[in-house]
């Protein structure tokens, strides 16, 4: 780390290091290696040097900020509005004594969005635990069932109400998208949940769920990173958590300050990306395309 | 259309009408169709996994002497430890495998497709001299402001807040456009269903009279 | 140990798949392809858990004669029926067993499952209309942007749009290529960064809630 | 409740009823819709139209029966046009639920035009993992597909004799209802510089304009409307005909038009109600 130039203002140090690193790579690898040769026998794909640089940089900043947070340095993160929306919806359901419905999307647990949804689910379970209202979790992929069961059980336990956990409320419905949607609609219509929380990876069924939920008069909060479904959630739900906010909400809810470090890390990455974008656009405008080409991935 | 097909298609037409009855309100016909679709599709997926995963991906390789397929077999069997309260924890290595490999595959792909490729595509020549250049500038400004909206380390106040607001406007225009583009595809699905019903009833009438 | 080993496995496979991205070696790629197939096998095993969950819950409803219990019998019966004609008939060598065209399974697929699914899907045409009617009100500036853009694009997508104003197709295309594209890119970039950082926390065991309590 | 408030809070079931009635009525009594052809659809058409007898066009069909309504018309129209021009056709399918469907199309159209399997067209069949399959085809079609769909070795098919990889086809048209298109763009075009056009569902259309802009694809047929535009051009040139019931997307256009108008009217009604009732307060 000594070889990196250090600025006097420590805030900018990581940023400068990255820029320095990028310049170094650009100097070391001037061919931008758009090589087309047969790589089936080699152990490293030189066309992907740029990816490696970004990956190392991104992992670096995230781990750096998480370690900073671990040391107890306070990191400012603005209040995420989605959190209030979830709390408000659950609050209304408890006031009315009506159930809460949590829909974790239709993709398997190896999808990161589903993992984020599971983190949120544990915290929703904790909120609900004290009020003796059921928390329904309909599930589309069998692999998500054990994870959801564990999260709900743990949430109830950490709220001091392990007895309130009802195993029958975490329900596998169907792997088939529209059969699943039909099953969830059934719960919405007949159990009349007051709060519908839709978090995870959704596809065409998004609007079916959100419209049926509206029909039953529930407060609906939805969150997904699937861009094609966001318009429907925005139109039909009371509050929509957009894209990265889903992951931010899960990081915030996990209540461990060190995990918030990752948010800082991805913020820094965004700042770097904006810088690169601006630089790239200016260079391209002046006819210098080498910088842009370096970002080309084969 | 023969009699058998007329009857089978009649079943299909009846089920279609059962589902549409939901639009008026929840009713026994819809409930019937709903439970039927859940049951049938659960059975359908069991088939698909049995014939397309279990047999060709596990049993056939094992029978062909590819012993290393015993590993996923064991990982899979460990999942069944969930049936026992005492040995539930045995399913965790399998969870670790599925989640870990999922995350590992996703990381480089997300970075490649959704970050670097997008950054590369957004580095457009800008200027004020021609309409395409101005449009490019607009694209970059919009991407910038929308990214600002997703920035969590700073309060949305002042100039920063203004940028984030412009960002949210951009997102809203995008959502509106996405909504408008989708209508056609959804209506196409409905049209297909209506044509199915129309043709069926035409056939039925000509068969009866 | 009950937590460390799963986390170690998670880390190991995760890192290997990241490395795989950078290794073009044919032999290595084929090994990883095999491992990817394992995930499908494991999921097939997990499906038994799903079916068990489905049966347990519906059986409880029937046993306790809770609301709508007769429908749950239909659900379970149709499930058993499909499995019987799909697997049991095939194993026993009964005619019309197995899957594919010309089997009982195939008939049920084409005359029950396919129409049911595609009709569910087609309900969206109605939902999209009612959502548009309810939500596209010029209440706030943001809501207006949403509504007006949707309206313009909808008009631009049908042939009538062009006869109203010749510029409609170009205008729609501009909306798609500039603000829509820019917004989408920003969401993509942000969401991908969020996903990657969550994935990284999962791989390194910093985020281990998915494993559940002790 | 005042008239305007009632207008604003109209029960959703009225919306459903009107939509349903309009769709059914238009399905029974159809009418002609004026057609405007977008340049991105026309460029695909013009390209296929410019094929010289003997040249090979490749079609990659990657969709399942669920999206047939939007995509099948494109596959049919292009296949017919191609055979009418006496060009040769190479097909493959990279979606697991698609192979049988593609076989149906090609068998039917080949019969219409008296085309012979193996001489005028070759259907390679299905292979999983589109990315890997496309990359391999870029090297040699025989790597992923040593045999065609019917089990004949490629080397014994006359049409394949002088064909190695994408260099031997004039262009590739990918008709897709899913993520397969990305792979065709990234690998077939990006890696092997194959000339590529795509036909996708309406929902996906928006995602692919950037590639058109960057020149990675030379044409784009977008959803039901794109299919109808293509059919319109093909009908005008006489490749397909209304009498033989070969126009499907076009048949759905009246339904699209009336439904869109109804939805727009509802939005307007809602807003008028909203404004007027606000004004009264």
| C-alpha distances in Å from residue A188, one per residue of A276, B113, C124 | 47, 36, 17
* pLDDT above 80: residue D281: no
**pLDDT band (50, 70, 90) for residue D65:** confident
Touching C: B residues 98-157, CB under 8 Å: 98-111, 113-115, 118-119, 121-122, 135, 138-140, 142-143, 146-147, 149-150
Where do the domains of chain A lie, and which CATH numbers do they carry?
10-74+258-293 (no CATH), 81-253 (3.40.50)
Residue C209 lies in a domain: no
Residue B151 lies in a domain: yes
Mean pLDDT, rounded, for D45-69: 90
Buried-exposed string B154-168: b where 16+ CB fall within 10 A, e elsewhere: eebeeeeeebbbbbb
**pLDDT band (50, 70, 90) for residue A8:** very low
CA dist., res. B52 & res. C40, Å (int): 9
| C-alpha distances in Å from residue B78, one per residue of A76, A171, B74, B173, C209 | 43, 21, 6, 49, 20
Structure tokens that stand for C35 in this block:
């491992």
A46-60, C126-140, D61-75, D86-100: range with highest mean pLDDT = C126-140
With CA atoms as reference, the chain D residue closest to B182 would be D203
Contacts of A228 in chain D (CB under 8 A): 203
Residue B201 lies in a domain: yes
* pLDDT above 50: residue A26: yes
* pLDDT above 70: residue A255: no
The pTM assigned to this predicted structure is 0.89
**pLDDT band (50, 70, 90) for residue C29:** confident
Lowest-confidence segment of A13-17, C42-46, D57-61 by average pLDDT: A13-17
| Side-chain half-sphere exposure of C180, counting CA atoms within 13 A | 28
pLDDT reported for residue C146 = 96
Q: Which of D23, D36, D267 sits opposite C162 (nearest CB)?
A: D36
Contacts of A246 in chain C (CB under 8 A): 191, 194
From the candidates D255, D263, D265, which should be mutated to test the interface with B, based on the most B CB atoms within 10 A?
Answer: D255
Total number of domains constituting chain B: 1
With CA atoms as reference, the chain B residue closest to A173 would be B38
Q: Which residue has the higher pLDDT, C169 or D227?
A: D227
* pLDDT above 50: residue A1: no
Cα D240 vs. chain centroid, distance in angstroms?
Answer: 16
| C-alpha distances in Å from residue A254, one per residue of A240, A248, A261, D3 | 20, 10, 12, 50
CA dist., res. C127 & res. A249, Å (int): 29
**pLDDT band (50, 70, 90) for residue A282:** very high
* pLDDT above 90: residue A285: yes
B181 touches chain D (CB under 8 A): yes
Q: Which of C45, C115, C149 sits opposite B80 (nearest CB)?
A: C45
What is the rounded average pLDDT for all residues in chain C?
89
Q: Which residue has the higher pLDDT, B5 or D194?
A: D194
Mean pLDDT, rounded, for C36-58: 91
Lowest-confidence segment of A117-121, A293-297, B111-115 by average pLDDT: A293-297
Q: Which of D69, D182, D206 sits opposite B181 (nearest CB)?
A: D206
Residue B49 lies in a domain: no
Total number of domains constituting chain C: 3
Contacts of A51 in chain B (CB under 8 A): 108, 111-112, 116
D225 touches chain B (CB under 8 A): yes
- CB-CB under 8 Å, C200 with A262: yes
Contacts of C86 in chain B (CB under 8 A): 43, 46-47, 50
Contacts of B184 in chain D (CB under 8 A): 202, 223-225, 256, 260
With CA atoms as reference, the chain B residue closest to C148 would be B176
Contact (CB, 8 A) for B100 and C12: yes
Mean pLDDT, rounded, for B89-118: 91
Asked whether residue C115 falls in the same domain as residue C130, the answer is no
Q: Which chains touch D (3 or more CB pairs under 8 A)?
A: A, B, C
C187 touches chain D (CB under 8 A): no
pLDDT reported for residue A27 = 53
How many angstroms away from the CA of B94 is the closest CA of chain D?
A: 24
- CB-CB under 8 Å, A210 with C49: no
Contact (CB, 8 A) for D26 and D258: yes
pLDDT reported for residue A22 = 62
Contact (CB, 8 A) for C125 and B190: yes
- CB-CB under 8 Å, B182 with D202: yes
Mean pLDDT, rounded, for D270-277: 91
* pLDDT above 90: residue A144: yes
Contact (CB, 8 A) for A5 and A20: yes
Q: Which residue has the higher pLDDT, C131 or A5?
A: C131
Report the candidate in C48, D259, A141, A243 with the shortest Cα–Cα distance to residue B110: A243
**pLDDT band (50, 70, 90) for residue A35:** very low
Mean pLDDT, rounded, for B162-184: 93
Instruction: Annotate C70-97 with DSSP letters as a single string.
Output: HHHHHHHHHHHHHHIIIIIHHHHT-TT-
Q: Which of B77, B150, B184 sits opposite C157 (nearest CB)?
A: B184
* pLDDT above 90: residue D146: no
CA dist., res. D170 & res. D55, Å (int): 7
- CB-CB under 8 Å, A55 with C18: yes
Q: Which of D27, D225, D263 sits opposite B191 (nearest CB)?
A: D27
Instruction: Annotate A38-102 with DSSP letters as a single string.
Output: --TT-SS-GGGHHHHHHHHHHHHHHHHHHHHHHTT-----PPPHHHHHHHHHHHHHHHHT--EEE
Contacts of D16 in chain B (CB under 8 A): 23-24
How many angstroms away from the CA of D108 is the closest CA of chain B?
A: 20
Contacts of C130 in chain D (CB under 8 A): 12, 15-16
pLDDT tens digits for C100-136?
A: 667 888 888 888 888 898 899 899 999 999 999 999 9
With CA atoms as reference, the chain C residue closest to A46 would be C22
Contacts of A215 in chain D (CB under 8 A): 12
| Host domain of residue B159 | 125-209
Touching A: B residues 105-164, CB under 8 Å: 105-108, 111-112, 115-117, 119-120, 122-127, 133, 136, 140, 143-144, 147, 150-156
pLDDT tens digits for A77-114?
A: 888 888 899 999 999 999 999 999 999 999 999 889 99
**pLDDT band (50, 70, 90) for residue C24:** confident
pLDDT reported for residue A2 = 32
From the candidates A139, A273, A296, which should be mutated to test the interface with B, based on the most B CB atoms within 10 A?
Answer: A273
**pLDDT band (50, 70, 90) for residue D131:** confident
**pLDDT band (50, 70, 90) for residue C187:** very high
* pLDDT above 90: residue B52: no
pLDDT reported for residue C184 = 92
Residue C73 lies in a domain: yes
CA dist., res. A65 & res. D135, Å (int): 40
Mean pLDDT, rounded, for B186-202: 88
**pLDDT band (50, 70, 90) for residue A34:** very low
Lowest-confidence segment of A133-142, B189-198, C124-133 by average pLDDT: B189-198
CA dist., res. B6 & res. B24, Å (int): 28
**pLDDT band (50, 70, 90) for residue A9:** very low
**DSSP 8-state assignment for residue D170:** S
CATH, range D39-247: 3.40.50
pLDDT reported for residue A33 = 42
**pLDDT band (50, 70, 90) for residue C76:** very high
Last residue of a domain, one of C48, C66, C84: C66
C163 touches chain D (CB under 8 A): yes
Mean pLDDT, rounded, for B68-92: 92
B175 touches chain C (CB under 8 A): yes
C2 touches chain A (CB under 8 A): no
Q: Which of C139, C147, C159 sits opposite D33 (nearest CB)?
A: C159
C35 touches chain A (CB under 8 A): no
Instruction: Annotate chain B with DSSP letters as a single string.
Output: --HHHHHHHHHHHHHHHHHHGGGT---HHHHHHHHHHHHHHHHHHHHHHIIIIIIIIIIHHHHTT-GGGHHHHHHHHHHGGGGSSSSGGGGHHHHHHHHHHHHHHHHHHHIIIIIIHHHHHH-----SSSHHHHHHHHHHHHHHHHHHHT--SS-S-HHHHHHHHHHHHHHHHHHHHHHHHHHHHHHHHHHHHHHHHHHHHHHHHHHH-
Mean pLDDT, rounded, for B41-52: 85
Residue B167 lies in a domain: yes
| Host domain of residue C5 | 1-66
Contacts of C129 in chain D (CB under 8 A): 15-16, 19, 259, 262-263, 266
Alpha helices in A130-256 (DSSP H): 144-158, 177-191, 205-215, 230-236, 244-253
ipTM of the complex: 0.89
Q: Which residue has the higher pLDDT, A231 or A258?
A: A231
B105 touches chain D (CB under 8 A): no
With CA atoms as reference, the chain C residue closest to A47 would be C22
* pLDDT above 50: residue C68: yes
C131 touches chain A (CB under 8 A): yes
From the candidates D270, D275, D279, which should be mutated to test the interface with C, based on the most C CB atoms within 10 A?
Answer: D270
Residue C93 lies in a domain: yes
Residues in chain C: 214
The count of other CB atoms within 10 Å of the CB of residue A210 is 28
Asked whether residue C116 falls in the same domain as residue C129, the answer is no
B184 touches chain D (CB under 8 A): yes
With CA atoms as reference, the chain D residue closest to B25 would be D13
Mean pLDDT, rounded, for D1-21: 89
Backbone angles phi, psi at D197, to 5 degrees: -130, 160
* pLDDT above 80: residue D62: yes
pLDDT reported for residue A36 = 45
- CB-CB under 8 Å, A211 with C213: no
- CB-CB under 8 Å, A227 with C46: no
Mean pLDDT, rounded, for C60-64: 95
């Amino acid at each position: 780390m000594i070889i990196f130039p250090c600025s006097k203002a420590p805030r900018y140090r990581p940023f400068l290091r990255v820029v320095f690193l990028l310049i170094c790579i650009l100097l070391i690898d001037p061919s931008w290696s758009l090589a087309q040769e047969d790589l089936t026998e080699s152990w490293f794909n030189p066309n992907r040097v740029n990816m490696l640089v970004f990956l190392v940089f991104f992992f670096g900043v995230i781990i750096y900020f998480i370690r900073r947070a671990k040391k107890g340095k306070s990191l400012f993160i603005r209040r995420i509005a989605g959190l209030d929306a979830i709390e408000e919806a659950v609050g209304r359901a408890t006031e009315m004594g009506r159930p809460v419905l949590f829909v974790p999307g239709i993709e398997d647990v190896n999808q990161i969005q589903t993992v984020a949804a599971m983190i949120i689910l544990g915290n929703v379970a904790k909120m609900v635990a004290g009020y003796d209202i059921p928390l329904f979790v309909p599930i589309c992929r069998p692999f998500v069932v054990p994870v959801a069961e564990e999260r709900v059980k743990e949430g109830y336990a950490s709220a001091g109400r392990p007895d309130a956990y009802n195993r029958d409320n975490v329900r596998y419905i169907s792997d088939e998208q529209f059969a699943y949607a039909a099953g969830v609609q059934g719960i919405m219509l007949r159990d009349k949940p007051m709060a519908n929380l839709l978090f995870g990876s959704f596809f065409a069924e998004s609007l079916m769920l959100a419209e049926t939920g509206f029909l039953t008069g529930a407060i609906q909060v939805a969150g997904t990173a699937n861009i094609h479904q966001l318009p429907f959630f925005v139109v039909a739900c009371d509050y929509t958590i957009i894209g990265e906010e889903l992951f931010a909400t899960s990081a915030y809810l996990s209540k461990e300050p060190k995990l918030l470090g990752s948010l800082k890390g991805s913020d820094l990455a965004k700042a770097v990306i904006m810088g690169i974008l601006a630089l790239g656009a200016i260079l391209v405008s002046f006819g210098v395309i080498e910088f842009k080409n370096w970002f080309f991935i084969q | 259309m023969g009699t058998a097909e007329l009857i089978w298609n009649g079943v299909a037409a009846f089920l279609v009408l059962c589902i549409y009855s939901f639009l008026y309100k929840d009713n026994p016909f819809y409930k019937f169709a709903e439970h039927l679709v859940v049951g049938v599709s659960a059975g359908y997926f069991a088939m698909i996994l049995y014939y397309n995963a279990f047999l060709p991906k596990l049993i056939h390789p094992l029978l062909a002497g590819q012993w290393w397929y015993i590993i996923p077999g064991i990982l899979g069997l460990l999942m069944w430890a969930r049936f026992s309260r005492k040995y539930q924890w045995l399913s965790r290595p399998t969870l670790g495998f599925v989640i870990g490999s999922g995350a590992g595959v996703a990381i480089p792909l997300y970075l490649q497709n959704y970050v670097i490729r997008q950054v590369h595509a957004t580095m457009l020549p800008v200027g004020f001299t021609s309409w395409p250049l101005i449009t490019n500038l607009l694209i970059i400004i919009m991407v910038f402001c929308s990214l600002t909206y997703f920035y969590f380390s700073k309060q949305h106040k002042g100039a920063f807040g203004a940028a984030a607001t412009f960002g949210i406007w951009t997102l809203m225009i995008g959502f509106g456009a996405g909504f408008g583009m989708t209508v056609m595809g959804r209506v196409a699905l409905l049209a297909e269903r209506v044509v199915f019903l129309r043709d069926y009833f035409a056939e039925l009438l000509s068969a009866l009279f | 140990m009950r937590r460390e080993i799963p986390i170690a496995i998670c880390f190991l496979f995760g890192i290997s798949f990241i490395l795989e991205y950078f290794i073009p070696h044919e032999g290595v790629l084929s090994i990883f392809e095999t491992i990817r197939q394992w995930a499908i096998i494991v999921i097939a095993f997990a499906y038994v858990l799903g079916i068990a969950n489905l049966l347990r819950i519906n059986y409880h409803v029937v046993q306790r004669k809770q609301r709508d219990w007769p429908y749950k019998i239909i659900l379970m019966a149709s499930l058993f029926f499909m499995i019987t004609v799909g697997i049991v008939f095939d194993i026993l060598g009964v005619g019309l067993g197995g899957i594919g065209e010309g089997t009982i399974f195939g008939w049920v697929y084409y005359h029950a499952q396919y129409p049911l699914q595609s009709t569910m899907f087609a309900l969206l045409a109605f939902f999209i209309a009612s959502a548009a009617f309810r939500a596209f009100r010029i209440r706030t500036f943001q809501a207006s942007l949403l509504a007006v853009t949707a309206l313009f694009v909808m008009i631009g997508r049908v042939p009538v749009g062009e006869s109203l104003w010749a510029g409609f197709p170009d205008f729609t295309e501009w909306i798609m290529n500039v603000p829509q594209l820019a917004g989408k890119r920003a969401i993509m970039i942000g969401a991908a960064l969020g996903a990657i950082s969550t994935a990284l926390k999962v791989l390194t065991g910093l985020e281990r809630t998915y494993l559940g309590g002790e | 409740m005042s008239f305007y408030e009632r207008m604003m809070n109209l029960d959703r079931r009225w919306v459903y009823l009107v939509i349903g009635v309009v769709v059914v009525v238009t399905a029974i009594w159809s009418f002609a819709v004026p057609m405007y052809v977008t340049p991105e659809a026309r460029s695909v058409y013009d390209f296929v139209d410019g094929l010289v007898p003997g040249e090979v066009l490749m079609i990659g069909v990657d969709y399942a029966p669920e999206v047939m309504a939007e995509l099948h018309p494109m596959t049919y129209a292009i296949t017919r046009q191609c055979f009418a021009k006496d060009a040769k056709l190479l097909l493959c399918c990279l979606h697991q639920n698609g192979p049988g469907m593609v076989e149906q199309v090609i068998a039917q159209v080949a019969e219409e035009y008296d085309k012979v399997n193996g001489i005028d067209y070759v259907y390679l069949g299905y292979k999983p993992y589109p990315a890997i399959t496309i990359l391999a085809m870029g090297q040699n079609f025989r790597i992923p597909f040593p045999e065609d769909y019917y089990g004949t070795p490629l080397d014994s098919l006359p049409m394949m004799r002088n064909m190695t990889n994408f260099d031997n086809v004039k262009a590739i048209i990918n008709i897709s209802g899913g993520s397969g298109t990305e792979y065709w763009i990234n690998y077939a075009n990006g890696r092997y510089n194959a000339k590529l056009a795509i036909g996708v569902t309406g929902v996906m259309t928006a995602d692919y304009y950037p590639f058109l802009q960057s020149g990675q694809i030379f044409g784009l047929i977008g959803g039901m409307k794109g299919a109808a535009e293509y059919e319109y051009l093909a009908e005008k040139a006489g490749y397909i005909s209304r009498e033989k019931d070969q126009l499907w997307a076009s048949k759905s256009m009246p339904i699209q038009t009336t439904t869109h108008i109804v939805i727009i009217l509802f939005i307007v009604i809602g807003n008028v109600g909203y404004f007027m009732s606000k004004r009264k307060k």
